[in-house]
Amino acid sequence: MKRLRVLVLLDPDLVPPDSHKGYSEQEINAWKTEYDVVSTLRINGHDVRPLGVQHELKPIRDEIESWKPNIVFNLLEQFHGEAAYDQNVASYLELLRIPYTGCNPRGLMLARGKDLSKKLLSYHRIPSPAFAVFPMQRKIRRPLRLRLPLIVKSLSEDASMGISQASVVDTDEKFVERVAFIHHSIGTPAIAEEYIEGRELYVGVLGNDRLRVLPIWELEFRHLAPGTRPIATEKVKHDPEYQERRGIFHGPAQDISPELRARISKSAKRICRTLELDGYARIDFRLSADGIPYYIEANPNPEIASTQEFAHAAVHNGIAYPDLLNRILALGIRRASAAD
Ligand SMILES: Nc1ncnc2c1ncn2[C@@H]1O[C@H](COP(=O)(O)OP(=O)(O)O)[C@@H](O)[C@H]1O
Ligand SMILES: [Mg+2]
């Protein structure tokens, strides 16, 4: 790949230093993705400028006009602190006619929220857990068609915000309590889904029109305390000490029949097409004991630190990390030239 000028958009609090030296593990963890992307793009020979933005569009425009980057690497997950504005940043880059990495604005919009994508996918008969949405300030009652246990989540927040062991409820009383907790503590409507007992599978997908499905990845819970349910809570996702203690481990999913593998892979592609995702995405499933892969959520622009699921699954598929980042750049450039 030829040498590119790459403008990396990121959160101003996560502008990475030039080296890990002198930082604690916790500090490194905070900007790990940003560090890995910026340093690896440099190793790949690109000319890289990180730009922290959060409240102003002008610095983006100025940098694009003065420095003339070939592409923007979009690591922004929010604007004005609003996760839902990420689609507007992608739209802005589109209007500036600058190629950018990752998902287009429409895909970001369709995948957002934990209800819309499930409604769209039911048209294509992709199995997903039965659910109901509970808006704020309404009487909270469990619809009888929803069977306990349920998992109660924020409708709009991600990164496991508000997800803990108490999210899974097995009585009506706990259910009402947890919905109220989401309303008051997270400040968003809630969604309750039937809890799918089973394995947690992640499927990375790379591509715009032609999609490449990465090996099926599994999040394993090896030493959970008795009575603890295997769900990806905040601690499971982001606390290295807890991960170590509880044997939280991710790796290639074993013991899945070729038929089931094919079904999951086909369904991941269909999900990307239905939700109009491009660039790179990770589709999350729960595999029930009777072998049905239930769609849980689609993550456009998933986390791509070198140690995370997406990058590991790519390596397992013969795509080393530096190569992965170059492919993500190439997909951004190809989309822009296809639109010309
Ligand atoms: N219906 C469900 N059945 C079983 N586990 C679930 C269900 N929904 C969510 N979970 C668990 O909770 C985790 C976080 O839920 P998810 O919908 O992916 O929210 P987030 O956007 O915060 O990641 C999942 O990775 C999974 O472990
Ligand atoms: Mg998730």
Q: How far apart are CA 163 and CA 286, in angstroms?
A: 16
What average pLDDT does this structure show over 299-318? 97
Closest protein CA for atom 9 of ligand 1 = 296
Ligand 1: nearest atom to the Cα of 159: 22
Contact 76, 53 (CB under 8 A): yes
From the CA of 282, the nearest ligand is 2
Q: How far apart are CA 46 and CA 2, in angstroms?
A: 8
Percent over 90 (pLDDT), the chain: 92
Ligand 1: nearest atom to the Cα of 236: 27
Residue 278 pLDDT class (50, 70, 90 cuts): very high
Residue 159 predicted with pLDDT over 80: no
What average pLDDT does this structure show over 275-301? 98
Ligand 1: nearest atom to the Cα of 299: 21
pLDDT of residue 185: 95
**Over 144-203, what HEC string results?**
CCCCCCEEEEECCCCCCCCCCHHHEECCHHHHHHHHHHHHHHHCCCEEEEECCCEEEEEE
Q: Which residues line ligand 1 (CB under 6 A)?
A: 114, 129, 151, 153, 158-160, 163, 193, 195-196, 200, 231-232, 284, 286, 296-297
The preferred substitution site among 118, 160, 236 for testing ligand 1, maximizing ligand atoms within 8 Å of CB, is 160
User: Smallest Cα–Cα separation from 203: which of 72, 101, 295?
Assistant: 295
Closest protein CA for atom 7 of ligand 1 = 195
pLDDT of residue 46: 98
Contact 253, 216 (CB under 8 A): yes
Full-model pTM: 0.96
Separation of CA 58 and ligand 2 centre (Å): 32
pLDDT of residue 236: 93
Q: How far apart are CA 301 and CA 204, in angstroms?
A: 10
pLDDT of residue 289: 94
Percent over 70 (pLDDT), the chain: 100
Q: Which residues, listed in sequence order, are joined to residue 236 by a DSSP beta bridge?
A: none
Separation of CA 84 and ligand 2 centre (Å): 16
Contact 322, 328 (CB under 8 A): no
The 10s digit of each residue's pLDDT in 330-339 is 999 999 998 7
Q: How far apart are CA 35 and CA 42, in angstroms?
A: 11
The 10s digit of each residue's pLDDT in 15-63 is 999 999 999 988 998 999 999 999 999 999 999 999 999 999 999 999 9
Separation of CA 236 and ligand 2 centre (Å): 11
What average pLDDT does this structure show over 102-113? 97
